[in-house]
Amino acid sequence: MLHIALHFVVPAGLALAIDRERWLRTWLILVATMLVDLDHLLADPVYDPARCSIGFHPLHTTPAIVAYGLVLFGPRALNAIGALRDEAIIWMLQLVGLGLIVHMVLDGIDCLT
């Protein structure tokens, strides 16, 4: 139960630290990245408290995590070379990437126990 709570509490802390004026919107975007857990529906059983998600579910594999890192850092790199100029899109993509990386870190911590 603590694991699930952390998926809401950690993004709340990040949202407040990143954008205090629009923290609720930022938090909602970060929490929306929990949809990555839809890949759990492909497992049998769907929920196994003893199973480590990292490396097991398709959206929790190394290639997926690398892609999430690209979503976090790629937009700013594209902006630097002039390929992506819309700051709102950059901000949104970076929040999605951050949310996905935070999700994977929290799932990874859960795998240590």
What is the pLDDT at residue 5? 94
Query: Digits of tens for pLDDT over the chain (113 positions)?
Result: 788 999 999 999 999 999 999 999 999 999 999 999 999 999 999 988 889 999 999 999 999 999 999 999 999 999 999 999 999 999 999 999 999 999 999 999 988 97
Say which amino acid occupies 79: N
What is the pLDDT at residue 49? 82
Q: What are the angstrom distances between the C-alpha of 65 and each of 59, 86, 93, 95, 107?
A: 8, 25, 15, 15, 12
Of 92, 90, 107, 105, residue with least CA distance to 29: 92
Determine contact, residues 107/40, Cβ cutoff 8 Å: no
Q: What is the pTM of this model?
A: 0.94
Q: What residues does each domain of the chain span?
A: 2-111
